[in-house]
Amino acid sequence: MSMTYEEFITEIWERVAASPQGWRKGQAVFNIIDEQWGVAREVQFVDGIDCFYNDDKIQEFIDHAWIILKDRFFS
């Protein structure tokens, strides 16, 4: 399985657009990454970055998820 960072970002934002209307963007990003790739809790608890309640952390959260995925699955 291979994916570029750009494909990763595109998939996240496409799925955010289709997420339930009541979800904040950070909540949607967290849930999507958790459901699709299963690394959200690792980013939250190991890296200490949580975008679920803080939309200001979205980009940092995505970047850390990407680093984990790239190293673990996409290299």
The residue among 8 and 75 whose pLDDT is bigger is 8
- Binned at pLDDT 50, 70 and 90, residue 61 comes out as very high
Mean pLDDT of 16-41: 97
| The pLDDT of residue 75 is above 90 | no
23 CB-near residues (< 8 Å, 6+ apart)? 31
Q: Is the model's pLDDT at 16 over the cut of 70?
A: yes
Please, are residues 26 and 57 in contact by the beta-carbon 8 Å criterion? yes
Q: Is the pTM of this model over 0.95?
A: no
Q: What is the mean pLDDT of the chain?
A: 95
